[in-house]
Chains A and B, each alone.
Chain A
């Protein structure tokens, strides 16, 4: 037996839900092994069990041929298993060295550790300053901390959970070099991703999960991106259909010289942002997480008011100093990134959540200060029907819905108003393929019916699927918007890394 890790008939139950169902797979030393699957297919649950963060309900793991239990992450690390989380397990207020020390066994010697960190980061080309505080670092640097933290323990198996989702294409390339080198040294890598092209490029083996079950084990080099996608989804994928946009639409959303101060020590300030979105088109704002997207959404939605009315105009009407409800009344609608707790109140029913964003612009919902529950229930039912929101009872609490269904509701709630301007942050983050397709199609349809749509997204595939023009945000500054067809992923990557921050060079590049 020359397998490093084997999972044999592993099942994991959460209450009645089977997150993993009789999963069997094998990983060899030195192999980069992809776990492919949609959101909710059970990839994360499976690797959490391998990393000891969850315990299987049935089945067993073997490590180098021997049956093992992995009761805790510490036990996993002891075996030689390291993991880089999708949502990093870092501590913002602590330094790089302190973050790494927390994962290291043995005596506590910060000085020696800092020296080792410097050594490993030099060796693998992962520059890191041990005394820097995490809160001040970029997403790419944070990922380097996670990787160095694993490497210091000389792992035999490294688990990477969606590592490139937060990186620029160039940063991703750098990561592939590191991973390939590690594999060459005999370390196995479990690589979770839904980016099929990079899996084809990087991985030696791919296990495909669907609804918690293993549906196939393939050599990705022999497959096409389309065939892999079919295996993941279990059928053909819906492709957004859209007529070409009307070039001469009126400007419905105009940002000019938008500025916003940072509201905390770790927040991003927005600098001189200008953009026009016309009737009929979808404009996307691409960028790596943490470059001011949240602040940008707050500024455009009016959750944070601006200093000057002229910074934002809706259908020519300046609204910079108005709040979110005044902007809604002017015909705009907003969908924030966080569904639970921002776009919807988890403990409220769907009908109450209708009141949440529509009480000001739907006079029938709140007459004379009283809430009209019947009207709210009616709207909730209409939205649920139009967007196929699956739920266990007519008006359940928002928290009981799955991510995809809640996102359909939150988007549908706004589209139901037929807004003249729609601003969406991460429309399909963490949502299954079916719901994603519905949402993307609805967004494009809205634009083609004459609305202006602004989408903020970190997902380049999504952006290329729906956007007519693309601008890139980096450190609080927005590049010009370029026609989607004229931009390559590489070009966007350069913009993400801040190539447009000197305006002249951006203009030169366009010429």
Chain B
């Protein structure tokens, strides 16, 4: 028996919709098997992992907190990957955004006005864009592989952050902990009530609003505009893109600045809300998890929003499983990795049919 692929005449719209769902179901089954192997009741464990995070208003709040950066970064990456601009350094651009935005609270802690808020957000976006512009520039100018450069830059900026919060930017009153002063007032994101107390009061911060707005804007960009058309062409058939008069260099710039800016925005929002200051480890790997978000969302901004929630659940589930079942929260990363594998495998079915081939009939005939 051999597994062979048979090309479909056109892509299958049904499979395109089904593929992420099949991938999630397969991941759940695999997860259940892993739990069973560890001697846990698989159904109970899966319940703790994937259902409990949705049970309380507090956990829904947490879910939104985690989904916000994933959606912001994931939507930008989705579009870049569509155009085959492989920015995998979002984790670094996230950090760069947080660092540049933090300049205000670190050096001008007394600057307090609504404009401060705006300024910090803009600096965050600028930080992410500036950092993403390095691989974009090197790609366009020298043809340097953007995957490797954007990834290397993650390590560099994380070391820079480490140096800043241990050295020049350390809070003098911080008992030598590696962190800056705590952000306060207009240097943090305002939050507001999303759901009334009758349902269970759910507060969200401004970052979630940005995420939704960004996703909607990108959906329009991809679905309706010539720019979106350009990005799709560049990813599907670069030669045709050139024939269409689109310059590859400009596409690369656009994708890196867009996805870098969104990652920077996610970074500054994170330190202005959940974290509250600059310190090492401001991200539990959001920039890398967002890669999975982008693929699970089928490289579609709206899909990325849905996928961000799916991945946020795995983060929360990891935490609650650690408490309730005593299994490591690192299981979450394994689930995320397995999920991405299943998505990629299922995506093949959009363009191909699977067929099992027995031993070739003609081979049997030979013996006569």
Contacts and interface: CB of A to CB of B under 8 A. Distances in A.
A and B touch in the complex (CB under 8 A): yes
Interface stretch (A123-131, A348-356, A444-452): A348-356
Given A67-B368, A370-B224, A355 B229 contact: yes
A65 interface: no
Contact of A338 (B11, B233, B239, B242): B239
Contacts, number: 88
A397 interface: yes
Nearest to A396: B10
Contact of B243 (A56, A71, A356, A369): A356
A369 B225 contact: yes
B50 to A, nearest CB: 34
Interface in B224-261: 224-229, 232-233, 236-237, 239-240, 242-245, 247
Interface string B348-368: 000000000000111101101
Interface string A325-347: 10010000010101001111111
A324 B243 contact: yes
B6 interface: yes
B55 interface: no
B122 to A, nearest CB: 24
Most A CB atoms within 10 A — which of B244, B361, B366, B368? B244
Interface in B310-367: 360-363, 365-366
Contacts of B3: none
Contact of B225 (A15, A68, A357, A371): A371
B6 A15 contact: yes
Contacts of B244: 324, 356-357, 359
A269 to B, nearest CB: 19
A69 interface: yes
A397 B236 CA distance: 13
A397 B11 contact: yes
Nearest to B6: A15
A256 interface: no
Contacts of A245: none
A341 B239 contact: yes
Interface in B9-30: 9-11
A227 B117 CA distance: 84
A346 B233 CA distance: 10
Given A355-B229, A357-B244, A369-B226, A397 B237 contact: no
Size band of the interface chain B makes with A: 20 to 34
B243 A301 contact: yes
Contacts of B11: 347, 397
B273 to A, nearest CB: 34
A38 to B, nearest CB: 22
Contacts of B229: 352, 355, 359, 371
Contact of B226 (A68, A324, A338, A371): A371
Contacts of B243: 301, 303, 324, 334, 336, 342-343, 356-357
Instruction: Tell me whether chain B's interface is mostly helix, strand or loop, or mixed.
Output: helix
Interface in A293-337: 301, 303, 323-325, 328, 334, 336
A294 to B, nearest CB: 11
A397 B10 contact: yes
Interface string A169-198: 000000000000000000000000000000
A55 B360 contact: yes
Contacts of A366: 226
A356 B237 CA distance: 11
A60 interface: yes
A341 to B, nearest CB: 5
Given A334-B243, A345-B233, A348-B236, A400 B9 contact: yes
A399 B8 CA distance: 10
A109 to B, nearest CB: 32
B271 to A, nearest CB: 34
Size band of the interface chain A makes with B: 35 or more
Contact of A345 (B228, B240, B361, B365): B240
Most A CB atoms within 10 A — which of B10, B225, B228? B10
Nearest to B368: A67
A338 B240 CA distance: 10
Interface in B25-82: none
A336 B212 CA distance: 42
Nearest to A323: B245
B245 A325 contact: yes
A336 B239 CA distance: 11
B362 A69 contact: yes
A371 B224 contact: yes
A392 B9 CA distance: 11
Contacts of B226: 355, 359, 366, 369-371
A481 interface: no
A69 B244 CA distance: 48
B10 A71 contact: no
A338 B239 CA distance: 10
Contacts of B362: 55-56, 69, 71
Contact of B10 (A15, A60, A345, A399): A399
Nearest to A353: B240
A360 interface: yes
Given A325-B245, A371-B225, A69 B237 contact: no
Nearest to A301: B243
A338 to B, nearest CB: 7
Contact of A342 (B6, B225, B239, B361): B239
Interface string A353-385: 001110110000010011100000000000000
Interface in A1-58: 15, 55-56
Given A323-B245, A369-B225, A396-B10, A342 B237 contact: yes
Contacts of A301: 243
A55 to B, nearest CB: 5
A356 B240 contact: yes
B366 A360 contact: no
Given A69-B366, A356-B240, A396-B10, A369 B245 contact: no
B254 to A, nearest CB: 13
Nearest to A69: B366
Contacts of B9: 392, 397, 399-400
Nearest to B366: A69
B238 to A, nearest CB: 9
A60 B366 CA distance: 10
> Which 3 A-B residue pairs are closest in the complex by CB-CB distance?
A325-B245, A69-B366, A400-B9
Given A71-B362, A303-B243, A371-B226, 14 more contacts: A55-B361, A67-B365, A323-B247, A328-B245, A345-B232, A345-B233, A345-B240, A348-B232, A356-B244, A359-B226, A369-B227, A392-B9, A397-B10, A400-B9
17 contacts: A55-B362, A69-B365, A71-B366, A303-B243, A328-B245, A341-B239, A341-B240, A342-B243, A345-B240, A356-B240, A357-B243, A359-B229, A360-B245, A370-B225, A397-B9, A397-B10, A399-B9
Interface of B: 6, 9-11, 224-229, 232-233, 236-237, 239-240, 242-245, 247, 360-363, 365-366, 368
